[in-house]
Amino acid sequence: MSASSRGNLLVVHGGGPTPVINASLYGVVQEALGSGEVGQVFGGVHGIKGVLAERLVDLGSASAETLASVRVSAGSALGSSRHKLSDEEAGQVLDLCQRRGVRWFLGTGGNDTMANCLRVHQECGRGDGALTVVGIPKTVDNDLAETDHCPGYGSAARYLAQSARDLCCDVASLPTPVCILETMGRNTGWLCAAAALAREGPDDGPHLIYVPERRFDRDRFLAEVKDVVGRLGWAVIAVSEGLRDSAGRSVAKASSAVQTDPFGHALQGGVGAVLSELVAEKLGLRCRYEKPGLLGRSSAILASDVDRAEAEGVGREAVRRALSGQSGVMVTLTADRSGAYRWGTDVVALDRVAGVERSMPAAFLSDHGPDVAKSFIEYAKPLIGGDLSTHQHVRTLHGPR
């Protein structure tokens, strides 16, 4: 088959980057170029919005050195956007693909990106069906349905676990008694829960973990903080930015209207500030808050090797599925934790994941207060890769507060 007679492939990123989204991109490019079936491998520049403006880059012309570096870099090498495709725009994407000889369309992202992929796929159904659409999962939030976990989550979880461990080492040695670590997570607690992986011993922090899956009660929170500080002399508390009270109201201050994206998701943040003031005022305890925010999804240094391998794997699998003609599906990750951790891939129909947000199941949360259950630790631990850097020897010298 001559290069000119072969179809082309287009890959596009949606939503926020992860530390390993570029590993998926690397997987796509390598698999496509190595297949012998793909002509040109196009990347959509700055997401589906860039595709609508026909901003495409020829990834096959990137040097091997560039691709190898991209594989281990954070950020999104193609750029990204948050744009909800209208039916008309989905038609425009289809037109562009036909014009540029694109037979395979891959969208890398979370549930909003999968909704865009589904729209393009449905638009194909109305046309001649010549475009194959496959989704590649990606989100640090870990909230895509139908997959054991999401590429990007393991690295962000590793960052948070290491950061929580470092933070606890600092706070345990200092007189500021309470410190709140605010994590991302608009509606789900997956990221916040990962802070639990910081612990090495029974009194290690974070001592309290508050996730949006459970309604937040101010009085109970204050009693729980008071109890930990009374017992240990200090407390580190992990809270998700998306905490809501029993009436469903955000615990963080409402932010202004401009802080909402085209999918209607408001920019959040501020829950750490609100709760640290609450602790200071009501309990009379000095209290700080830290909010690494985007740093937790942009650190290549703290990425998980397991996550990176899986991200590359779903990228490669998406190409294989697309070339075999499967359309309207997203690649999923499977996991076997019965012995040494092993992962695999499968697919699910796009309409099962588009716009669907997966919360933490109740079984992953403790029955005895604001914490995760042991089953969550078993679920998440293999995903963050090797052991974290330890501070055990530091604690042997100064002992308890």
Here the tokens at position 204 are 């290690």
Binding status of residue 75 toward its own copies by CB under 8 A? yes
Please tell me the distance from the alpha carbon of residue 341 to that of residue 339, in angstroms, as a whole number: 6
φ, ψ of residue 106 to 5 degrees: the values are -115, 125
CB of 157 to its own copies, least distance (A): 16
Here the tokens at position 249 are 């109201």
| Residue 141 known to be catalytic | yes
Contact between 155 and 121 (Cβ < 8 Å): no
Three-state DSSP state, 26: helix
Answer positive or negative: Cα dihedral of 349, 352, 356, 361. Answer: negative
Binding status of residue 359 toward its own copies by CB under 8 A? no
Catalytic one of 112, 141, 143, 371? 141
How many residues of this chain interact with its own copies, rule: CB under 8 A? 83
Angle formed by the axes of helices 271-283 and 218-232, nearest 10°: 70
Per CB under 8 A, which of residues 82..141 are in contact with its own copies? 82-83
Binding status of residue 250 toward its own copies by CB under 8 A? no
Over the window 166 to 205, marking each residue x when it contacts its own copies by CB under 8 A and - when it does not, the resulting string is: xx-xxxxxxxx--x--------------------------
> From the list 6, 46, 186, 218, which residue makes contact with its own copies (rule: CB under 8 A)?
46
Per CB under 8 A, which of residues 316..345 are in contact with its own copies? none
> From the list 76, 183, 240, 327, which residue makes contact with its own copies (rule: CB under 8 A)?
76
* C-alpha triplet 331, 334, 340: angle, nearest 5°: 145
Over the window 228 to 247, marking each residue x when it contacts its own copies by CB under 8 A and - when it does not, the resulting string is: --------------------
Binding status of residue 222 toward its own copies by CB under 8 A? no
Over the window 283 to 302, marking each residue x when it contacts its own copies by CB under 8 A and - when it does not, the resulting string is: -xxxxxxxxxxxx-xxxxxx
* C-alpha triplet 54, 92, 52: angle, nearest 5°: 30
Residues in the chain: 401
Per CB under 8 A, the segment of 141-149, 267-275, 306-314, 328-336 that binds its own copies is 267-275
Known catalytic residues are 141
